[in-house]
């Protein structure tokens, strides 16, 4: 890993193309697409993850093409490859979480066997760049906790180069076109929750005063989208400042059934007209509270 | 406007299609695409803006198709239509800023004359949904301050409907595919600035502790992208918490040449190895500080 730490490259590797086939892991490594010879995740907790390989090794992985639910590393018996312990959020698993937090692109490759279990070929296809959209933990089929990551394909190509500042030698900032899949939220529901709280954060009471008025964010407790499929309803939404939204979505704190905060001091501020359903909070605790 | 306030619709109007031609403003209004008969902006400061019309009336507008630099309303002599006063951030102008802050989609229509000055036709084309990417003020060609908005086309269509929660009658959360243009930032430069500050906000000192490590954001002082074309360099970047990033980008505060904050208490925290160029701060003040 020390080797990988030097010059870890995030994004496409010049000279390679999406859809390119590599005959084995060594060829993938040599091309710079996925450097580790064994591990499914390339990266470190400090730097983030730059690439993964889908090889069909984890029973809990789900691959829908543009959307992948990927399972973290560890907790497997080296012999039987069966889960026999909870996975922990460190090393490679932390690396993927870090890439989520920083918005780094992750190169994804798939073994041909993963793409078609009947395949007798041993090659790997480079599938392009994905973003880590979310990370959480859940009980895998084995009954042990695994870390899970939703990766969403991002398709990028440069379409315009912005002019440089005059004669300054600065790096150019490129403008690219990106195709992303995203959940459409009902802005009316979100707005109503924010109005009920007068745009004050339910954790710290902060209300951001911009020149366009007060600002707060609607945070879903049980997230929208697969596999969580939380509903877009007021009882599943908190009114949070951006800081507490980041913390809530990324294991910084969660909430107990008495609305006391876990992970940070205090308790959730509530208003009568905004009821929060406990089952959503329980879901959040189960999936986002970091167990030591 | 009282009429518009009831049931203001954000997004596409059912029964209309992108590219559809309407013979005049009355027809646009009747279809619900743009309700005001005269005003170029439909909306209120409280609710946000739901639609605009490009009619070629403002000398400072720039239309590049998928990217529009739109000029706010007001400050024009009613007779000559020349700017004779600074525009203010209220009413319709505030509405567009609010749509930026909340991420609301804005319907854009163009007069055929705007599309082709030689055209003798009087119709309007509905061009679809745009997001207000940024708002700022600058001296227009007239020498008076005008408010400016960058609108970026977003192309959306439903591609998948997520399953409902079982038997709950909740609204479905749809998943759509979106094409967005965005600026590619150099993550190495941003990361280096954040490391220099140990992920502590240069305004409040906060460092967000997530399960994936510390979190802070790199905020460009002179923004990337047209028409600002700020460079992606360390001397043009601040390390901010998400709250102060929102405030900095949306007129909540700016910075004077001695690094004292304007709009909120305090002064910018600095470290020796991270130099900030005054010309970028001056640009930010000039464009994002709200003049009363």
Q: Give me the interface pTM, i.e. the ipTM.
A: 0.84
Pick from A170, A212, A290: which is nearest to B97 by CB?
A212
Contact A180 B180 (CB under 8 A): yes
CB pairs A-B closer than 8 Å: 200
Q: Best residue in A173, A174, A195, A292 to probe B by mutation, most B CBs within 10 Å?
A: A173
Give the pLDDT band (50/70/90) at residue B168: very low
Which chain A residues contact residue B175 at CB under 8 A?
Answer: 181-184, 225
Contact A225 B171 (CB under 8 A): no
pLDDT computed for residue B181 by the predictor: 47
Q: Are B135 and B96 in contact (CB under 8 A)?
A: yes
pLDDT computed for residue A165 by the predictor: 31
Classify A15 as helix, strand or coil: coil
- B122–chain A nearest CA distance, Å: 33
- A263–chain B nearest CA distance, Å: 10
Q: What is the pLDDT of residues B68-79, one digit of tens each?
A: 999 999 998 888
pLDDT surpassing 50 at residue B159: no
Query: CA A277, CA B6: separation in Å to the nearest integer?
Result: 30
- B184–chain A nearest CA distance, Å: 5
Pick from A175, A186, A226: which is nearest to B181 by CB?
A175
Q: Is the pTM of this model over 0.90?
A: no
Which backbone phi and psi does A4 adopt, to 5 degrees? -65, -30
pLDDT computed for residue B81 by the predictor: 81
- Give the residue ranges of DSSP H helices in B32-158: 91-102, 112-115
pLDDT computed for residue A292 by the predictor: 61
Say which range, A156-165, A279-288, B56-65, B230-239, has the weakest mean pLDDT: A156-165
Pick from B209, B213, B229: which is nearest to A165 by CB?
B229
- B191–chain A nearest CA distance, Å: 9
- B106–chain A nearest CA distance, Å: 13
B102 exposure class (CB count in 10 Å sphere: 0-12, 13-18, 19+):
buried
Q: What is the DSSP letter of A89?
A: S
pLDDT computed for residue B154 by the predictor: 85
Which backbone phi and psi does A179 adopt, to 5 degrees? -105, 120
Q: For chain B, what is the mean pLDDT?
A: 87
Q: Best residue in B212, B235, B289 to probe A by mutation, most A CBs within 10 Å?
A: B212
Query: CA A206, CA A198: separation in Å to the nearest integer?
Result: 10
C-alpha angle with apex A150: A249 to A187, nearest 5 degrees? 55
Q: Best residue in B92, B210, B229, B284 to probe A by mutation, most A CBs within 10 Å?
A: B210
Domains of chain B are 2-158 (2.30.280.10), 187-288 (no CATH)
Classify A3 as helix, strand or coil: helix
Contact A89 B211 (CB under 8 A): yes
pLDDT computed for residue B170 by the predictor: 39
Which residue of chain A comes nearest to B162, CA vs CA?
A: A225
Give the pLDDT band (50/70/90) at residue B122: confident
pLDDT surpassing 80 at residue B4: no
pLDDT computed for residue A47 by the predictor: 93
Q: What angle in degrees, to the nearest 10, is found between the helix axes of B242-249 and A242-249?
A: 140
Locate the DSSP E strands across chain A.
21-22, 41-44, 48-54, 62-63, 67-71, 105-111, 124-139, 145-153, 155-161, 174-184, 208-210, 213-215, 217-220, 237-240, 254-255, 261-262
Pick from B135, B163, B213: which is nearest to A98 by CB?
B213
- A84–chain B nearest CA distance, Å: 23
- A28–chain B nearest CA distance, Å: 24
For CA atoms A224, A230, A232, A234, the dihedral sign is negative
pLDDT computed for residue B115 by the predictor: 76
- Buried/exposed A52-63: b ≥16 CB within 10 Å, e otherwise: bbbbeebebbeb
pLDDT computed for residue A80 by the predictor: 86
β-strand pairing of B105-111 with B48-54: parallel
pLDDT surpassing 50 at residue B179: no
Which chain A residues contact residue B184 at CB under 8 A?
Answer: 156, 173-176
* Low-confidence residues of chain A: pLDDT under 50: 1-5, 157-173, 178-181
Contact B179 A179 (CB under 8 A): yes
Contact A232 B170 (CB under 8 A): yes
Give percent of chain B above pLDDT 90.
72
Pick from A94, A104, A185: which is nearest to B187 by CB?
A104
Place of tokens 């609301």: B104
pLDDT computed for residue B96 by the predictor: 98
Which residue of chain B comes nearest to A226, CA vs CA?
A: B162
Query: CA A127, CA A111: separation in Å to the nearest integer?
Result: 10
Which residue of chain A comes nearest to B250, CA vs CA?
A: A210
């Amino acid at each position: 890993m020390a080797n990988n730490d030097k010059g870890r490259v995030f994004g496409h590797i010049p000279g390679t193309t999406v859809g390119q086939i590599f005959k084995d892991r060594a060829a993938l490594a040599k091309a710079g697409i996925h450097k580790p010879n064994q591990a499914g995740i390339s990266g470190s907790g400090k730097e983030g993850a730059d690439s993964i390989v889908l090889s069909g090794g984890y029973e809990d992985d789900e691959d829908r093409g543009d959307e992948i639910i990927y399972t973290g590393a560890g907790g497997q018996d080296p012999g039987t490859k069966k889960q026999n312990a909870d996975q922990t959020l460190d090393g490679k698993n932390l690396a993927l979480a870090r890439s989520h937090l920083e918005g780094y692109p992750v190169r994804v490759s798939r073994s041909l066997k993963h793409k078609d279990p009947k395949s007798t070929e041993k090659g790997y296809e480079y599938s392009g760049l994905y973003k880590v959209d979310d990370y959480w933990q859940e009980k895998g089929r084995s009954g042990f906790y695994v870390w899970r990551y939703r990766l969403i394909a991002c398709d990028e190509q440069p379409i315009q180069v912005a002019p440089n500042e005059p004669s300054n030698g600065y790096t150019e900032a490129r403008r690219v076109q990106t195709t992303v899949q995203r959940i459409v939220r009902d802005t009316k529901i979100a707005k109503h929750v924010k109005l009920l709280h007068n745009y004050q954060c339910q954790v710290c009471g902060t209300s951001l005063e911009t020149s366009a008025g007060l600002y707060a964010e609607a945070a879903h407790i049980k997230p929208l989208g697969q596999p969580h499929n939380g509903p877009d309803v007021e009882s599943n939404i908190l009114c949070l400042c951006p800081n507490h939204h980041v913390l809530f979505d990324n294991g910084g704190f969660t909430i107990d059934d008495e609305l006391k905060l876990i992970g940070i001091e205090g308790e959730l501020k509530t208003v009568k007209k905004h009821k929060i359903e406990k089952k959503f909070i329980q879901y959040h605790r189960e999936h986002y509270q970091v167990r030591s």
